[in-house]
Structure 1
């Protein structure tokens, strides 16, 4: 009997494996943490203001006597969900428009490139602020503004990769053999674009989370009492002497989340 050789799948780089593990731990805390220790992120008890950890609040309390544990779990669901929604929208738009620009060329490509360059000329946070001025303090406003900023990077990457792939001999051979666009997209374009999209998506998610936190820190993001990482920092900053660990809680959570995303995007063996 002739044996069929079996090839193990290519391992992920160690950095990406660590990043995925860190993100899995953060996601597990955000989803299952409130189940392990039931509580309300909005409930106040001024008698517990800035007090230390206890069974019902393992991370202690903030200045209004709200459980930092439950507010942090809520914040770690809110910011990543908004960021992932924005990245998914921007990635889909960039993938479609980048492929269209590279495939059609001519005035279609010139028009899309001019539009992308015009958006690139403006600071990203300014565009988000303009959208938030129309839809202030809402998750929808963040999603729309971040999508408007992030699609340009996906568009540029897709356009560059698609143009190079479409000019390759393999694609020319597929065309001569009569294969249509669905086959070319599946067989030639997507394998080249997918790794770039993964890296861009991880960096884009980190950028979106930093943008949400930065706007929250300057009090133009989500509105109180919504638990959000940047808003939690700015609320606790005046009390850093009395309760430094309360302030460090959202800081450490934000750093851990961004650290995991950065490793996932660019980890090497």
Structure 2
């Protein structure tokens, strides 16, 4: 099997895994209609059964229903964060790289200053300062993630703006707005798409980690990281309380990485990163 066929196969595996996760997320509530928030202390820590396919947690709540709703929360937040980060970072990188001068200098000093710290440590600090809520967790991730997009887009624009098609557009009298959005934006879309696909897995890990530390989703929200934290005291007696959400996080991150790697190979943007 050629390298290209192996790459395509890995991407298909990722797409199939993600499709299966999305399918279970959509139809799961109709298959098992247990409320993931209602505690039933007389049914706590039950093994898997027909009514509870994955058993119950320490408060008698259906683990399967909580995993499904947790998928909706985790995937929904990660998609919203990715879109918002791209909406912020791409225009800033375009304008900074094309206009240059003092604006570019100020932008890059800001990017360098924020990017000097590890993203996860900075997200913990921001989330801890703002307070432990889902909205504040999203804001903390947004404040550290837009930097990578702005930096990648700026570097591409710096190399593209001196090429003949941009110079021809200038000579033809095209405005800066037209050059940015009609000529330069299409050139940076492939790297941005690949970066976003690879970032989904990282953002899911960040969301789960912040929730596990108590800085994200709060009880009784069934977010996967929060479920890991809930099951931690029972790990030695009922390890499945941590095993199921841990496997869910692992499968989603692997599928996102496979899709991102496949897109990077297909769009040939490996040299951008």
Question: What TM-score do you get using the length of structure 1 for normalisation?
Answer: 0.88
Q: How does 1:2-17 map to 2 (within 5 A)?
A: 13-17=8-12
Q: How does 1:178-217 map to 2 (within 5 A)?
A: 178-181=173-176, 183-217=178-212
- Deviation of 1:181 after TM superposition, in Å, equals 4.2
User: Residue 133 of structure 1 is aligned with which of 116, 122, 128?
Assistant: 128
Cα separation, 2, equivalents of 1:145 and 1:215: 10
Cα separation, 1, equivalents of 2:9 and 2:57: 37
The aligned residue for residue 65 of structure 1 is 60
- Deviation of 1:126 after TM superposition, in Å, equals 3.4
The aligned residue for residue 172 of structure 2 is 177
The aligned residue for residue 8 of structure 1 is none
The aligned residue for residue 266 of structure 1 is 261
Greater RCO, CA 8 A, separation 6+? 1
Question: Which structure 1 residue ranges, 5 or more long, are not aligned?
Answer: 1-11
- Contact kept, 8 Å, 1:59 with 1:246, in 2: the verdict is no
> 1:70 is paired with a residue of what secondary structure?
helix
The aligned residue for residue 76 of structure 2 is 81
User: Residue 154 of structure 1 is aligned with which of 128, 149, 152?
Assistant: 149
Cα separation, 2, equivalents of 1:56 and 1:18: 31
Cα separation, 2, equivalents of 1:131 and 1:230: 18
> 1:207 is paired with a residue of what secondary structure?
helix
Question: Which structure 2 residue ranges, 5 or more long, are not aligned?
Answer: 1-6, 267-273
Aligned pairs, number: 258
Note the aligned Cα RMSD (angstroms).
1.9
The aligned residue for residue 93 of structure 1 is 88
Moved over 6 A (4+): none
Q: Deviations over 1:2-36 (max 9, x none)?
A: xxxxxxxxxx9333332222222112212221122
Cα separation, 1, equivalents of 2:173 and 2:101: 24
- Residue 31 of structure 2 corresponds to residue 42 of structure 1: no
> 2:49 is paired with a residue of what secondary structure?
coil
- Residue 129 of structure 2 corresponds to residue 117 of structure 1: no
- Contact kept, 8 Å, 1:82 with 1:142, in 2: the verdict is no
> 2:37 is paired with a residue of what secondary structure?
coil
- Residue 13 of structure 2 corresponds to residue 18 of structure 1: yes
- Deviation of 1:182 after TM superposition, in Å, equals 5.2
- Deviation of 1:176 after TM superposition, in Å, equals 2.1
- Deviation of 1:183 after TM superposition, in Å, equals 4.6
